[in-house]
A and B are shown apart, each in its own frame.
Chain A
């Protein structure tokens, strides 16, 4: 009986995932066919796409504990058909993709239903192509398929970013995004070229890349190219400039997917190349990634604190979170090259944990922002305020996301931060003494970034959702509709569950860690207690924590109510003897960011327009710009413009000169080939 378990070999999780990719492709083009029926697109295609997302998360969950499976598709180049593979790393990222996408797509059903049919069909086309592209990136098992999927993802997201292409600033943002995405893609192409080591075209399959032996020089070169290419996609400083432009430009569900999921494909790629295809070879790789990650995290959070546009603030906060994730990757590399695989497993667990956390809370915050934008028509924090009064659902659900991203217990952001700090605390185990001392200082910077993230989130939530409406028309805003609430609720539930059940989540991350490091994080504490390494060393039990807070809350409430009275009198707020207070006297977004701007002024270029006391229509404008744009990109742009000017001199429209050029070329070639 033992051998007779009926298993259908035809349907594996990998095949299922591939079917869902096909489903998304079909849905994409079905939208074009159904252009005349916008209701069908929102009420049939998008829900089907959401079900597909759920399905791909399930195939990921099934593939996580199964041995790696591969599949060769009869499409692609003649000698190099598409190879697909579902191993633990792909499976984990498919769960991330599916889990976040489900919530966002359900939300999109409500969000997009007011669109006109033409733009809606196009949006549905690019949206589903984008999903298919991201899933294919995670499934690809040869460099060709990977690059095709990567480009599909980049191009479809470019068209999503430029949905409102009649606005010049959005076209500009889209162009910047496309440019940097392609500079990164070129770097990836070169990386795969280095990796395959000059063999035949078959050598582009990941299997032969894994088997190939590279010299340390070339593997380092490949790693640096991969870091550049994936860094451009992830928003690594100084390649981050497109991110605060492109993410706000896209419709909110797309911003949510780009921040929550697309940035993770870059993390996936970096892990795939540096741990799976070439095993990390030198500890300086880790130090480099750690250093860049730290800079990214601090830079991102400082700029997030001075933003006054909701989506821009969230985009900068994504840069910060990518920085934190990269710090985890760097730490993993350092431990791994030092032979401390148990610690590397801890750091990698923290990294993956933070990746999935970020997908959930950043997705939630972006779609919450979308709901506010939909209801009020603005995402400028200076015009909002008091949104909680007329959108309580959105407000409370967004609050969960904000608390989670601020790294507060018992939600999920805290767990990954806690694990990362624990990994830092174990660094004295390293054999290199100078690293022992440098790494705790890195921990100090991470702690600073985390504390600043709380500042940013108090600003985000407080200025937008609390206080008085800064614009009297805001009171006509309406609450998000049910699909939107369900979408937000799904992501909020994810934040809560990921926070309350870390021991289980770590169990799901374990196969991936096992695959990359060869060892898993040992949880000493059972199902209730999270205790990496040793329960005497560190432990955290969020469920108990949560229940105790809840119990004390209820107890306090009941005691206060029972012993005293519950009388409440409503009155005007304290006006400090100055009765003519209005809503514009609250802190604006700029005002709330002012201390950060003052402390970190060296990092940014601040432009201010302050009215003089006699202005009849006083207007204040404060803008904090990114110095990197001026320091890195403006010179490059000038150089390119200068070069093309020089090149342009060759062209002056006189036929004689063109004949001379051809003649000179001919002579040159004759001499050269002789």
Chain B
């Protein structure tokens, strides 16, 4: 048990520490695709460090909620990273929250950030909060439907059981997972504020979604949010890996498989970051009211995946 807890802590810490690296890698790849000279891989770390050292500038009217929200956001993301099987399966914390609870954790973090954005009462903050909630109310059911598809296959909403069923039991081809995977990709881009739903590098307030919410943050609060955003991307990537390409994740209690799991994780993450950067480089941001169509498509694909499961695999 204590070894399990150690593993749990280790995995969560690993996720927290590696998360900015994934972001750096994605930025680097994107710069290559766009023909720019790339920032170093460690750029996100440097930025977070710089932000931590600065003095926090906070609007006059900010309430305690505003200062509390970044910590809450970070804590939720750390918790999510603890739930998802990243390198090892069946860790001791996993029974405390299943896939549906994971959706709840993301929602909790998002609601706190949106509320904090409305706290100061600038027009951009409320605008960002409104847009973020718009995107999320369409993305969240789609994500749930993706989980439903995998849960129907594995007969469980526990992520470890899903991973074990898909990775370690008999190998079968599930057409429903193809639909679910595409839907998951679309949802992930929306939830992580990436192109085509949101542009993470924009400097134009009127087009912002996520960035508009955090306009008022600075210094350590911004550092925590940026770090948590990186962690969110990392967790979503790990989630995609766990659901759709789970091979290599170490089974419960198998310490010998950990180095292999680590290697597999790095390879898969690198591939995922490369793909994300490539897709971002070749596509443009959608108009805000095209986003419901985009996410509606994701939702339909996820539901189609579920129906495919009933028609073909049941």
Chains A and B form a bound pair = yes
A contacts, CB < 8 Å to B: 385-386, 388-389, 392, 399, 403, 406-409, 414, 418, 421-422, 424-425, 428, 436-437, 440-441, 443-444, 447-448, 450-452, 454-455, 457-459, 461-463, 466-468, 525, 529, 531, 535-541, 544-545, 548-549, 552-553, 556-557, 560, 563-565, 567-576, 581, 583, 585-587, 591-592, 594-596, 598-599
- Which residues of chain B come closer than 8 Å to A389, judged between CB atoms? 61, 63
> B52 touching A583 by the CB < 8 A rule?
no
> Could you tell me which residues of chain B, from 39 to 75, have a CB within 8 Å of some CB in chain A?
52-53, 55-61, 63, 65, 71-72, 74-75
A447 to B191, CA, bound (A): 16
- Which residues of chain B come closer than 8 Å to A428, judged between CB atoms? 152, 310, 314
Known: A564-B52, A591-B130. A418 touches B100 (CB 8 A): yes
- Output the nearest chain A residue to B117 by Cβ-Cβ distance: A462
B101 within 8 A of partner (CB): yes
Min CB gap A409→B, angstroms? 4
Q: Which secondary structure characterizes the binding site on chain B? A: helix
- Which residues of chain B come closer than 8 Å to A466, judged between CB atoms? 63, 65, 115, 118-119, 121
A206 to B270, CA, bound (A): 68
- Output the nearest chain B residue to A447 by Cβ-Cβ distance: B141
B122 within 8 A of partner (CB): yes
Q: How many inter-chain residue pairs (CB < 8 Å) link A and B?
A: 245
B215 within 8 A of partner (CB): yes
A-B contact pairs, 7 of them (CB 8 A): A388-B63, A389-B63, A575-B122, A587-B127, A591-B126, A594-B130, A595-B131
> A443 touching B148 by the CB < 8 A rule?
yes
Stretch of B154-162, B193-201, B256-264 lying at the A interface: B154-162
> B121 touching A583 by the CB < 8 A rule?
yes
Known: A462-B115, A573-B122. A541 touches B53 (CB 8 A): no
> B75 touching A574 by the CB < 8 A rule?
no
A541 to B82, CA, bound (A): 14
> A409 touching B133 by the CB < 8 A rule?
no
- Output the nearest chain A residue to B102 by Cβ-Cβ distance: A409
> B126 touching A586 by the CB < 8 A rule?
yes
> A567 touching B55 by the CB < 8 A rule?
yes
> A537 touching B157 by the CB < 8 A rule?
yes
> A581 touching B123 by the CB < 8 A rule?
yes
A646 to B303, CA, bound (A): 54
A657 to B104, CA, bound (A): 74
B contacts, CB < 8 Å to A: 52-53, 55-61, 63, 65, 71-72, 74-76, 78-79, 82, 93, 95-98, 100-101, 104-105, 107-108, 110-111, 114-115, 118-124, 126-127, 129-131, 133-134, 136-138, 140-141, 144-145, 148, 151-152, 155-158, 161, 205, 215-216, 220, 224, 289, 292, 299, 303, 306-307, 310-311, 314
> B145 touching A447 by the CB < 8 A rule?
yes
- Output the nearest chain B residue to A563 by Cβ-Cβ distance: B52
A591 to B134, CA, bound (A): 12
- In addition to A443-B144, A452-B137, A536-B158, 13 A-B residue pairs with Cβ atoms within 8 Å of each other are A388-B63, A406-B111, A422-B100, A422-B157, A437-B311, A455-B137, A461-B115, A529-B96, A536-B161, A539-B98, A568-B57, A571-B57, A573-B121
> A462 touching B158 by the CB < 8 A rule?
no
Q: Which of A409, A569, A596 contacts B58 (CB 8 A)?
A: A569
> A451 touching B74 by the CB < 8 A rule?
no
A189 to B148, CA, bound (A): 43
Q: Quick one: which of A458, A548, A553 has the most chain B CB within 10 A?
A: A458
Min CB gap B224→A, angstroms? 7
Known: A466-B65, A567-B55. A552 touches B216 (CB 8 A): no
Q: Quick one: which of B100, B110, B155, B299 has the most chain A CB within 10 A?
A: B100
- Which residues of chain B come closer than 8 Å to A568, judged between CB atoms? 55-58
Known: A409-B104, A539-B158, A570-B59. A564 touches B220 (CB 8 A): yes
3 tightest A-B CB contacts, nearest first: A467-B121, A468-B121, A587-B126
> A552 touching B75 by the CB < 8 A rule?
yes
> B104 touching A407 by the CB < 8 A rule?
yes
> A425 touching B111 by the CB < 8 A rule?
no
Q: Which of A408, A436, A537, A545 contacts B111 (CB 8 A)?
A: A408
Min CB gap B244→A, angstroms? 19
- Output the nearest chain B residue to A448 by Cβ-Cβ distance: B141
> A569 touching B55 by the CB < 8 A rule?
yes
Min CB gap A556→B, angstroms? 5
A457 to B220, CA, bound (A): 28
> B59 touching A548 by the CB < 8 A rule?
no
Q: Which of A399, A421, A461, A570 contacts B60 (CB 8 A)?
A: A570
Q: Which of B52, B60, B97 contacts A541 (CB 8 A)?
A: B97
- Which residues of chain B come closer than 8 Å to A536, judged between CB atoms? 156, 158, 161
- Which residues of chain A come closer than 8 Å to B127, judged between CB atoms? 587
Min CB gap B70→A, angstroms? 9
